[in-house]
Structure 1
Amino acid sequence: MTGRYPVRYGMASRNIMRIVPFLSAKAGLPPNETTYAEMLQEAGYATALVGKWHIGTYCDNTGCQDPIGQGFQYYYGVPLTNLRDCRGDSNVFIAWDEHIYRDIFITYIFLLWGSYSLKKRNIIGRPGFMILFAISTILCGGFYAFIQGIKMMNCLILENRKVVEQPYTYDNLANRMTQRAVNFLEVNHDKPFMLTMSFLQAHTALFSSDKFTNRSKHGPYGDTVEEMDYSLGEVMATLKRLGIADNTFVYLTSDNGGHVEEITEDDVREGGWNGIYKGSKGSSYEGGIRVPTVVSYPGIIPAGLEASEPTHIIDALPTIADVVGIPLPEDRVIDGKSMMPLLTNTRTMSDHEFMYHYCGGYMHGVRYRPREGSISYKIVYMSVRLIPGPHGVEGCFNTYACQCYGSSTDYHNPPLVYDITNDPSESSPLDTHEPFVQDIIGKVGGALEVHKASLSQVPYQFSLLRLLPRPWAQPCCGVFPFCSCREQSGASSLQMGPTMEPPLSVSRQVR
């Protein structure tokens, strides 16, 4: 969205929680960041986002973190993410503590026993005991009710700023989002437009419509991928039907590698597969960060071109700016580079000499592309510790999600150095005693110091206070906590702009 490393605006976590856990939390993309949607909106483009957001919805006197506040004139989708909670399979807290209900019960019994002991020893009287009993019941019962209410609080669909379904169901969900995207194209095809589709597939909980269920030989995961492919096909077919396919830049990528630890008790893979690449989602191994990307721009990008040079997802903003012909923001560091020289075959080398691989707020490695030759190197300072799992795959099976620091990580001094071009599986680190390898370590170390010096002190988005839910900021289609509504079948108003005004203190309004 920003063309910048998340560490520059406080979105690089230094604790175990690396995502925004509650829809009403204050953590998220700061409103003073410039997204490509804001740049394009200012250039006269109609802008829309359909699908997942998950980088904040909180509004205060500095602005709003939600899509409408970050440059999208139309939004329809899930403002948090697709969680197993939303299907009722499990609970986000159980992912961190599978004995959470037992722990609540034990805590409650301990508090009652302590209160009774104080009364029995005449330290407190009957009124004091009743007060402690009430406090214990409210605390433990309230926490239990809070956990049970996660689905209601986090699993909802927004259209602009209006809650249209809470909690959401998976019935026809992929089709609903596809239809919103198609409608946006039909309404705006005769003027400049930008549509971002952020698919919920193939994040767990996996889901697919009846048409795609049990269709793939790769099980539920394959079903979801096939339905996503169908959705993309509908969008591409709409571009062709409207006669604008040859004048539209299309960019398709993924936000991370497969989550190989997602394996059910029935031994069904639900998190994908990373092939020859080591590691998983959440790690800085190639299996966590190397993703496929497909680009289309007929007449500008040659058909069949394959670019194997290292690029980065933060390259999206400068690439879009290059395609549209608008300048980049000059008031901040933009880390991304335009991919257009590579995609038009006017350059054969990536503009990225160094690419920094963070795991949360921790520097795990650096990719180095020398300005001569054809080999890229990867220098690894920290790495997650992988253990064998089912199907002969290694992953973070002891923690479910790879952690960035602590006992499940390894520190490397000297760092590991890989010829990532010829050893993409990261199986054979180079000999650090070799002079040319020492030279690589020295050059990368110098670049890393320059990068660190360019970082400014910014508000940390993953502090405990920012991560906690704020009931007064909870989106609700009723009276909190009695939030419940269902979207009308086939409803598709496509109203551009916010349908629920932010607080009057918000300084930046949607144009």
Structure 2
Amino acid sequence: MKFTRKRSGKKRSCLSIWLILCLFPRTCVSNPSKPNFLLILADDLGIGDVGCYGNDTIRTPNIDGLAKEGVRLSQHIAAASVCTPSRAAFLTGRYPIRSGMASNTQYRVLFWNGCSGGLPPNETTFARILHQQGYSTALVGKWHMGVNCESSHDHCHHPLQHGFDYFYGMPFTLLNECQGTDDPELAKSLQDTYWLHSQIIFLAVLTLLIGKLTSLFQFLGRSRHGLYGDNVEEMDWVVGRLLDVIDKEGLKNTTFIYFASDHGGSVEAHRGNARLGGWNGIYKGGKGMGGWEGGIRVPGIVRWPGALPADIVINEPTSLMDIFPTVVHLAGGVVPQDRVIDGRTLLPLLRGTAGHSEHEFMFHYCGAVLHAVRWHQKDRGTTWKAHYVTPVFQAEDSGACFGRRMCPCFGDGVTHHDPPLLFDLSRDPSEANPLSADTEPLFDTIVNRIGRAVEEHCRTLTQVPQQLSPYNNVWKPWLQPCCGTFPFCWCDKENNKDEDIL
């Protein structure tokens, strides 16, 4: 299978916000029990931006339709509140601190293609395992995890080596007409080139470029929430186009679809008086806050007609990391036994054969600093949350760090709590009323149990190279992926080789 670029003779001058990350099956697989996969990960999308999660002013009929036909996860948690570590955890099923993708500096994401940090070669993505199971895979869109290079391209660990047969770069953009004409290339190219009638994994990342929002002409001014709302509605339209392709190809009942966001919406993002970030509903905080729910609680929707029930809600704690063992299991693979895998398969919950999540404790990091811990006390049906570190909001009651670009993880911008702030998320999901020994008789027991869990968790951690160190996060011209003549690295070839793209 190869990709071809549909070329339009018309001049393109408008940049769409959509960056599409794809994974595809490499060879045909004869086993009909193995599903196709469509995994859609939105960037910076707040849980409150979607209709099926309570929004009544932004129109998301296609995403809402997925929830109506599938399972909606109400306590779906990202492993980090910013892009790079969250995506690393999503693909590996492991907390980012285990792979060195959790930063101990103020820079928490990889900023450049040409930097030496990145997902380490010894990490295994679900794409690699599916590749071994006969699936073809492709990743198109926002990678945001570097290429793990030492000194030259000869020493680079490319995303392809993590199990992707095709990797269409960072960023891969769809250019759209400014004149308001529809762009037929999106669905047409997917239908003609990408979709096969055998096992497929397709990972799409629909990205909201905060601060640089643009939109197709027909979506401008359509929502009641400025460019951000316009972009969310456009994203929903893209989801609809993808679903249309699945239906037309007769793949609806054989395709496992997952929709989520990599973390919560940005509450600090503004342009003048216009807010450019998402809405996190009733949850406190947002992007960059590793502990507060607004930064880590995200939409989570799964649809697989005939194999999973429809129109149900699961209120148990689940994680983006759970996709790793879930997809691996469905593909007939085996989860690696030589490392700690923090994700837990979703299948018992999704199929209704289990009433409780396998997660007892979940650890919420801000960079490399543990900010909070969630304890799912199954016998009581209660979810406790202990905050050891919280950001200092500016202004105090704003729920954001407006004096900074993003809330910090450490230093003078945070407050340490001993004993920790304790909340009962089952009764107080907004984290508005911290408990104390005076208001909760079991306060000391709960705090001590969570403390022991932290100690047990820390004993499973090993020291690894820091991929987001200042040196690794500095742009190095000699490492810049380039298929043209540096620094003019825009690729415009009909049939690029893999080594040309990276």
CA distance in 2, matches of 1:415, 1:459: 30
Please name the residue that 2:422 is paired with. 417
Please name the residue that 1:498 is paired with. 498
Please name the residue that 1:67 is paired with. 159
CA deviations on 1:79-101 (whole Å, 9 max, x unpaired) are: 4xxxxxxxxxxxxxxxxxxxxxx
- Segments of structure 1 that go 5 or more residues without pairing to the other structure are 80-156, 158-164, 503-511
Please name the residue that 1:281 is paired with. 287
Deviation at 1:331, TM superposition (A): 1.2
Deviation at 1:336, TM superposition (A): 0.4
CA distance in 2, matches of 1:181, 1:292: 25
1:356 to 351, 359, 363: 363
CA distance in 1, matches of 2:402, 2:251: 46
Please name the residue that 1:101 is paired with. none
Please name the residue that 2:217 is paired with. 210
Q: TM-score, structure 1 length as denominator?
A: 0.74
Structure 1 or 2: more helix by fraction: 1
CA distance in 1, matches of 2:476, 2:169: 21
CA deviations on 1:384-411 (whole Å, 9 max, x unpaired) are: 112349xx85211111211101111110
CA distance in 2, matches of 1:241, 1:437: 56
The structure-2 alpha-carbon separation of the partners of 1:403 and 1:427, relative to structure 1 and needing over 3 Å to count, comes to same
CA distance in 2, matches of 1:393, 1:34: 40
CA distance in 2, matches of 1:501, 1:16: 31
The structure-2 alpha-carbon separation of the partners of 1:247 and 1:44, relative to structure 1 and needing over 3 Å to count, comes to same
Deviation at 1:32, TM superposition (A): 1.3
Q: Which amino acid aligns with 1:36?
A: F
CA distance in 2, matches of 1:300, 1:64: 41
The structure-2 alpha-carbon separation of the partners of 1:264 and 1:178, relative to structure 1 and needing over 3 Å to count, comes to farther
Please name the residue that 2:118 is paired with. 28
2:358 paired with 1:268: no
Please name the residue that 1:463 is paired with. 469
What is the number of equivalent residue pairs in this alignment?
A: 405
Aligned with 1:271: secondary structure?
coil
Contact 1:50–1:76 (Cα < 8 Å) also in 2: yes
CA distance in 1, matches of 2:319, 2:481: 34
Aligned with 2:298: secondary structure?
coil
Please name the residue that 1:7 is paired with. 97
Deviation at 1:30, TM superposition (A): 0.6
CA deviations on 1:172-191 (whole Å, 9 max, x unpaired) are: 899766655444543xx222
The structure-2 alpha-carbon separation of the partners of 1:280 and 1:467, relative to structure 1 and needing over 3 Å to count, comes to same
Aligned with 1:235: secondary structure?
helix
Deviation at 1:322, TM superposition (A): 2.4
Please name the residue that 1:338 is paired with. 345
- Segments of structure 2 that go 5 or more residues without pairing to the other structure are 1-90
The structure-2 alpha-carbon separation of the partners of 1:440 and 1:23, relative to structure 1 and needing over 3 Å to count, comes to same
Aligned with 1:399: secondary structure?
coil
1:323 to 311, 316, 330: 330
The structure-2 alpha-carbon separation of the partners of 1:8 and 1:183, relative to structure 1 and needing over 3 Å to count, comes to farther
Aligned with 1:199: secondary structure?
strand
Q: Which has the larger radius of gyration?
A: 1
Q: TM-score, structure 2 length as denominator?
A: 0.76
CA deviations on 1:22-56 (whole Å, 9 max, x unpaired) are: 21001111121000110101100011112211001
Please name the residue that 1:387 is paired with. 394
Deviation at 1:2, TM superposition (A): 0.0
CA distance in 1, matches of 2:96, 2:491: 35
Please name the residue that 2:443 is paired with. 437
Structure 1 or 2: more strand by fraction: 2
Please name the residue that 1:45 is paired with. 135
CA distance in 2, matches of 1:223, 1:486: 29
Contact 2:263–2:287 (Cα < 8 Å) also in 1: yes
2:107 paired with 1:17: yes
CA distance in 1, matches of 2:403, 2:121: 37
1:304 to 303, 311, 315: 311
2:478 paired with 1:472: yes
CA distance in 2, matches of 1:230, 1:248: 19
CA distance in 1, matches of 2:198, 2:111: 38
Please name the residue that 2:7 is paired with. none
Contact 1:280–1:402 (Cα < 8 Å) also in 2: no
Deviation at 1:211, TM superposition (A): 2.0
Please name the residue that 1:191 is paired with. 198
